[in-house]
């Protein structure tokens, strides 16, 4: 027996196909959904991510606006830029690419995103809805992508145990909330967790989002478990995940590879959220 | 060996003493902090809770306003009332007593509370800040009271395992978030959780908030664990908790009794949050 390898690239391609029709139905040209990305600073990985987002958006017919305030910008200048995008009727979705330069406070910038344009789902109003178990249009893209992969591969979630390694706002925390809302029993693990492998070995679903290359080997994995590898660390040999694939593949029931697993899903979910926000705005607010 | 019984009534009394000075420093009479409670419908337990809140507030010198819209009110009428309190400069804290009558949607009513007057911490903006691990002035009163009890009894939290039974917005979910933010490794359990006693037996901190009288017996408890009983079910014999005290007391390291454990803390924390909100408003906004 060997794990089913979850093909995130193929699922993401299918989602993009589904979305292309939705975008066309909303409108073309100036009437198409509009996504604005704010990229501040010189982080090379961020530049790559943003370029990829732009490429996918344009393929789907989504209008893509890139704003690149200089790394020397102040928190106030970034807040003002994001507010102007929040007020711009031509924009349906806003993404503030993280991390921001060190001297900028991220919270006021994220709070300046209008909740109804919050494509990333990081505004506390949307994050709070998720945390309260209320329905919400947007949830953070990476964990939403993980949930979508599990659903498309019929991984049982309800009533199962899940362990999430890492408690970031971007992945670990929202992942634990999404799994709880889907009726899993979730243990949220982090740097202060003792006896981590033993906790993980009890999980039917193991989500690794620690950013520590290869830390999860077979001793962390319950036989037959679904192992989702969110860790992406750039190395000279390319992107490396948190999961030691050679060790885990013979034990797990499902496994997402790096690259080609969770990675492509994040952008696909961002695009889906942008389309959802565009639809919601056109059906509720006069533009 | 027998568990240390945590005296919530005594801790709550000490907090009230601490707060009385803070209230006096803010102002007396019309200048005192103002708390408005909205009680809609005929739930007898709610009427008792609200009466107790009023009594404590008045003892502390907090101005207490009780609003009792009829059970026949519409969602829109309640939203309008809460909005008017949000706009009223004489009000620092607002509580919408839950549960509301069945025909009223709670979410729009809760969302009408100005986040800076949200004494209960249920507005999604404040709940989201808690869920993201950001600093926040207010968190839901009952779990905040549980944390305060553990702190005052020097229960170790960081690096320990915790299990929370129940995933309500009022107790279980915010409790799990507060424990995670305090660096515990938390498992959030609920009605779909399999093998519940075994999971609980791994926990150094066990919080029972299921509302099922006596369900937690010694088979759920790791020797020496801190057991927090949030379950309060009214019976003909008075209030009954989720914990079977006779069974658990010889095994646990700490135990909150019912009554006299968590119960008195909820109101004390609500008062503390009202005072914090009053201080914040006086230091940031022109009234």
Contact call for A128 and B133, based on CB within 8 A: no
Contact A244, A216 (CB under 8 A): yes
Of B158, B177, B183, the CB nearest to A131: B177
A53 counts as catalytic? yes
**Contact present, A160 and A176 (Cβ < 8 Å):** no
What value, to the nearest 5°, has the Cα angle with vertex A120 and ends A182 and A231?
A: 70
Point out the residue among A167, A187, A192 whose CB comes nearest to the CB of B158.
A192
Active-site pick, A7, A92, A118, A120: A120
- Token representation of residue B87: 């706009």
Please tell me which residue in A7, A92, A97, A222 is annotated as part of the active site.
A97
Q: Which 3-state string (H, E, C) describes chain B?
A: CCCEECCHHHHHHHHHHHHHHHHHHHCCHHHCCEEEEECCCCCHHHHHHHHHHHHHHHHHCCEEEEECCCCCCCHHHHHHHHHHHHHCCCCCEEEECCCCCCCCCHHHHHHCCCHHHECCCCCHHHHHHHHHCCCCCCCCHHHHHHHHHHHHCCCCCCCCEEEEECCCCCCHHHHHHHHHHCCCEEEEECCCCCCHHHHHHCCCEEEECCCCCCCECHHHCCCCCEEEECCCEEECCEEECCECHHHHCCCCCEECCCCCCCHHHHHHHHHHHHHHHHHHHHHHCCC
CA separation for the pair B195, B176 (Å, rounded)? 19
- Residues A161-192: tens digit of each pLDDT: 999 999 999 999 999 999 999 999 999 999 99
Q: Distance from A218 to chain B by nearest Cα, in Å?
A: 22
Q: Given this model, what pLDDT does residue B287 score?
A: 42
Q: Which of B133, B188, B194 has its CB closest to that of A159? A: B194
What percent of chain A shows pLDDT beyond 90?
93
Dihedral (Cα; A163, A272, A274, B125), 10-degree rounding: -30
Kindly list the residues from chain A whose CB atom is less than 8 angstroms away from the CB atom of residue B186: 187-188
Find chain A residues with C-beta within 8 A of B161's C-beta.
194, 199
3.60.110.10, 3.30.160.20, 3.40.50.1700, 3.40.50.720: CATH of A141-264: 3.40.50.720
pLDDT at A125: 97
Place of tokens 């609003």: B67
**Between A and B, how many residue pairs show a Cβ–Cβ distance under 8 A?**
107
The verdict on whether B53 is a catalytic residue reads: yes
Give the number of other CB atoms < 10 A from CB of residue B201: 17
How many residues does this entry show for chain B?
Answer: 287
Q: Can you give the pLDDT at residue B55?
A: 97
Nearest-Cα distance to chain A for B13, in Å, is: 31
* Residue A200, C-beta contacts closer than 8 angstroms, at least 6 positions apart: A163, A165, A189, A206, A216, A220, A221, A222
Among candidates A131, A187, A190 on the partner chain, residue whose Cβ is nearest the Cβ of B131: A131
Q: Show Cβ contacts of residue A279 under 8 Å, excluding neighbours closer than 6 positions.
A: A22, A26
CA–CA separation, B203 and B147 (whole Å): 16
Per-residue pLDDT at A237 exceeds 90: no
Q: Which pLDDT score is estimated for A236? A: 86
Which of the residues A111, A160, A192 would you substitute to probe the B interface, choosing the one with the greatest number of B C-beta atoms within 10 Å?
A192
User: Whole-model pTM?
Assistant: 0.96
pLDDT in tens, A86-102: 999 999 999 999 999 99
Identify the CA nearest to A213 among candidates A231, A195, A200, A196. A231
Cross-chain CB nearest to B134 (options A107, A180, A188): A107
Cα(A78)–Cα(A224) distance, rounded to whole angstroms? 47
User: Chain A: residue nearest B133 by CA?
Assistant: A169
Give the per-residue pLDDT at A287. Answer: 42
Q: Decide the pairing of beta strands A161-165 and A205-208.
A: parallel
Q: Is the pLDDT of residue A285 over 80?
A: no
Position A111 confidence tier, pLDDT thresholds 50, 70, 90:
very high
Q: Which CATH architecture fits B29-116?
A: 3-Layer(aba) Sandwich (3.40)
Annotated catalytic residue within B7, B92, B118, B120: B120
Chain A residues with CB-CB distance to B128 below 8 A: 123-131
List the domain boundaries for chain B.
Answer: 29-116, 141-264
Q: How distant is the Cα of A43 from the closest Cα of chain B, in angstroms?
A: 23
Percent of chain A exceeding pLDDT 70 equals 99
Distance from CA of A158 to the nearest CA of B (A): 7
* Inter-chain CB proximity B133 and A167 less than 8 Å: yes
Residue A131 and residue B129: Cβ atoms within 8 Å? no
A130 CA: distance to closest CA in chain B (Å): 8
Which of A123, A131, A137, A189 should we substitute to test contact with B (largest number of B Cβ atoms within 10 Å)? A131
Q: Which residues of chain B have pLDDT under 50?
A: 286-287
If pLDDT is split at 50, 70 and 90, which confidence band does A45 have?
confident
Catalytic residue at A192?
A: no
pLDDT in tens, A140-168: 999 999 999 999 999 999 999 999 999 99
Span A54-79, pLDDT tens digits: 999 999 999 999 999 999 999 999 99
Task: Determine the distance in angstroms separating the CA of A63 from the nearest CA of chain B, rounded to an integer.
Answer: 30
Under 8 Å between Cβ of A164 and A179? yes
In chain B, what residues touch A112 (CB-CB under 8 Å)? none
So what's the ipTM on this one?
0.95
CB contact under 8 A, A128 and B123: yes
d(CA A181, CA A175): 10
């Amino acid at each position: 027996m060997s794990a089913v390898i979850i093909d995130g690239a193929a699922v993401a391609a299918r989602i993009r196909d589904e979305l292309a029709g939705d975008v066309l139905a909303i409108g073309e040209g100036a009437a198409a959904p509009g996504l604005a990305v704010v990229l501040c600073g010189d982080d090379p990985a961020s530049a790559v991510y943003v370029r990829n987002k732009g490429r996918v958006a344009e393929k789907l017919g989504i209008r893509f606006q890139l704003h690149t305030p200089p790394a020397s910008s102040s928190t106030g200048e970034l807040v003002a830029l994001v507010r102007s995008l929040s007020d711009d009727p031509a924009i349906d979705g806003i993404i503030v690419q993280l991390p921001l330069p060190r001297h900028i406070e991220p919270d006021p910038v994220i709070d300046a995103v209008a909740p109804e344009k919050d494509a990333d789902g990081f505004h506390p109003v949307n994050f709070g809805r998720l945390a309260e178990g209320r329905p919400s249009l947007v949830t953070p893209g990476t964990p939403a992508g993980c949930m979508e992969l599990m659903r498309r591969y019929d991984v049982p979630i309800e009533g199962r145990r899940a362990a999430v390694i890492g408690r970031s706002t971007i992945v670990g925390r929202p992942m634990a909330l999404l799994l709880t809302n889907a009726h899993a029993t979730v243990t949220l693990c982090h740097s202060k967790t003792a006896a981590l492998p033993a906790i993980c070995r009890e999980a039917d679903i193991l989500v690794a989002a620690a950013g520590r290359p290869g830390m999860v080997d077979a001793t962390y994995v319950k036989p037959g478990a679904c192992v989702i590898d969110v860790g992406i660390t750039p190395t000279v040999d390319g992107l490396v995940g948190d999961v030691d694939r050679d060790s885990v593949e013979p034990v797990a029931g499902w496994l997402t590879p790096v690259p080609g697993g969770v990675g492509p899903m994040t952008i696909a979910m961002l695009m889906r959220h942008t389309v959802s926000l565009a639809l919601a705005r056109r059906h509720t607010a006069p533009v």
